[in-house]
């Protein structure tokens, strides 16, 4: 079973009416949230969110789930959750709620403002089995025998847990969608009691419980003991308020240089992904990445609430030629910084004096001399078929194709020595297409000299 959370649509209205009926009925929700009109709420709310599920008719680990009629072989998509959010509470004066809330209920460490807080005016969530018309493997409508039956109670608790998870998915989606929002608040009638799993005796006096699916994501707030009567109490009443903090769902990461103390926290993280990490990055040693940091190698640690949960290792030692050959990097100047070090490409026919000029320029500027002939010989000596083909063409006095030239010299040109000191490349012919292709491909050259 998968849960998909998206913006609510006008077409959800019929499904929402059914959902409310499965979750306790319209009367209960009117007592909790006041009168409601789904069409109007979806159209005018700050944000409305629906959660949908597809129920597998044959869930793993359980018996057959009997769906009514001809639904046996289908995987219907249906609503399992819904929430409406507004920028002010439904009761009271919208512009004054912050003053009242801050003085009466806001936690001391919560920096609640008008712009970082939304009010959840309506929320409903039920298990997929209940929403689809199936509860614990039997059709809704068949009563469980014995209210005190342990198996029945476990089923109820599992449903409550699933509904709470769906509401958490909705809340998480809201925070992901609205990065400027840090808090969600729900206002319920003040005489409601805390119901469902985990309820406390004496928490309220009425028979309408706070929906259990809210209690995992939201914290129940109490009125400040030292809060004096407020002139806005008459407007807002004495509601039961629930608060959800973004940090509980999307905690802010703290980033700092990694240190030896991070090793113990990171070991379980790396162990859980060891095969994937080795396949992606090759063999590595966590201790070395942390301990052997220098000017060329750095490691950053990510922490949540003081505990290390991630590592980013960086190095200046990279295969620039490989990146340049695999990605379109024109917009990024091929990852090469503009510098004063000369990068010269010398073109010309055999016997024109390319080598003599290249040697002189490399000596003058302290640059690396890169010769196509030398790179072809080195490749051939290393057993490269391309190197051997290049040598045969050169011995025959033929011009190498530009693609072959680029392949032979790319690694050398991208080496740290060449990037630091610059280079002079010679040994390239002047085939009609070769010049244009090389000038376009080796765009990092600062100067192209053509010898007639």
The per-residue pLDDT for 135 is 57
Indicate the pTM of the whole model. Answer: 0.57
Burial of 408 (C-beta count, 10 Å sphere; 0-12/13-18/19+): buried
pLDDT at 70 over 70: no
67-72 long-range contacts, CB within 8 A, separation 24+: 67/132, 67/133, 67/134, 68/133, 68/139
For residue 287, the Cα-to-chain-centroid distance in whole angstroms is 27
**Cβ-proximal residues to 84 (8 Å cutoff; 6+ apart), any chain:** 8, 41, 42, 45, 47, 48, 120, 121, 122, 123
For the cut 90, the answer to whether the pLDDT of residue 48 exceeds it is: yes
- 55 pLDDT band, cuts 50/70/90, is low
Higher pLDDT, 391 or 439: 391
What region does 117 belong to: left with phi over 0, alpha with psi -120 to 50, or beta? beta
Q: What's the rounded Cα separation, in Å, for the pair 195 and 201? A: 10
Which helix or strand (DSSP H or E) is residue 183 part of? strand 183-188
User: With 0-12 CB in 10 A as exposed, 13-18 as middle and 19+ as buried, what is 91?
Assistant: middle
Condensed to tens digits (0 to 9), the pLDDT of residues 244-272 reads: 999 888 887 889 999 999 999 999 999 99
Sign of the four-CA dihedral 22, 25, 29, 30: positive
How would residue 6 be classed by pLDDT, with cut points 50, 70 and 90?
A: very high
CATH topology of domain 320-450: Rossmann fold (3.40.50)
pLDDT digits (tens, 9 = 90+) for 394-410: 888 787 887 788 888 88
Reported as a pLDDT band with limits 50, 70 and 90, residue 68 is very low
Q: Is residue 134 within a helix (H) or strand (E), and if so which, with residue range?
A: strand 134-135
């Amino acid at each position: 079973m998968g849960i998909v959370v998206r913006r609510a649509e006008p077409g959800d209205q019929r499904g929402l009416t059914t959902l409310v009926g499965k979750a306790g009925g319209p009367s209960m929700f009117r007592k909790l949230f006041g009168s409601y009109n789904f069409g109007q709420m979806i159209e005018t709310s700050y944000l409305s969110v629906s959660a949908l599920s597809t129920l597998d008719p044959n869930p793993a680990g359980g018996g057959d789930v009997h769906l009514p009629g001809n639904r046996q072989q289908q995987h219907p998509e249906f609503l399992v959750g819904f929430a409406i959010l507004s920028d002010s509470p439904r009761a009271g004066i919208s512009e004054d709620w912050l003053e009242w809330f801050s003085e009466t209920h806001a936690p001391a460490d919560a920096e609640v403002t008008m712009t970082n807080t939304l009010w959840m005016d309506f929320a409903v969530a039920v298990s997929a089995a209940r929403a689809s018309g199936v509860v614990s493997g039997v059709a809704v409508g068949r009563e469980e025998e014995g209210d005190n039956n342990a198996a029945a109670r476990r089923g109820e608790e599992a449903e409550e847990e699933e509904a709470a998870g769906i509401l958490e998915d909705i809340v998480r989606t809201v925070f992901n969608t609205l990065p400027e929002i840090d808090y969600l608040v729900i206002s319920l009638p003040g005489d409601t009691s805390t119901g469902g799993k985990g309820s406390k005796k004496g928490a309220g006096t009425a028979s309408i419980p706070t929906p259990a699916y809210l209690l995992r994501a939201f914290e129940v707030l109490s009125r400040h003991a030292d809060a004096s009567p407020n002139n806005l109490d008459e407007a807002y009443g004495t509601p039961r308020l629930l608060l959800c903090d973004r940090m509980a769902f999307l905690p802010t990461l703290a980033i700092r240089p990694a240190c030896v103390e991070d090793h113990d926290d990171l070991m379980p993280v790396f162990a859980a992904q060891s095969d994937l990490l080795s396949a992606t990055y090759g063999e590595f040693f966590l201790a070395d990445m942390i301990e052997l940091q220098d000017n060329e190698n750095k490691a950053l640690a990510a922490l949540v609430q003081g505990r290390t949960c991630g590592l980013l290792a960086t190095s200046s030692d990279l295969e620039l030629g490989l990146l340049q050959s695999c990605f379109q990097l024109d917009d990024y100047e091929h990852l090469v910084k503009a510098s004063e070090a000369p990068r010269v490409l010398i073109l010309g026919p055999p016997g024109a004096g390319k080598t003599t000029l290249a040697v002189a320029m490399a000596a003058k500027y302290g640059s690396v001399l890169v010769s196509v002939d030398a790179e072809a010989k080195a490749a051939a000596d290393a057993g490269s078929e391309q190197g051997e083909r290049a040598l045969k063409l050169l011995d025959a006095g033929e011009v190498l194709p530009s693609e072959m030239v680029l392949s032979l010299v790319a690694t050398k040109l991208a080496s740290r020595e060449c990037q630091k000191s610059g280079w002079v490349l010679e040994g390239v012919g002047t085939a009609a297409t070769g010049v244009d292709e090389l000038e376009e491909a080796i765009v990092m050259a600062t100067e192209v000299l053509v010898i007639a």
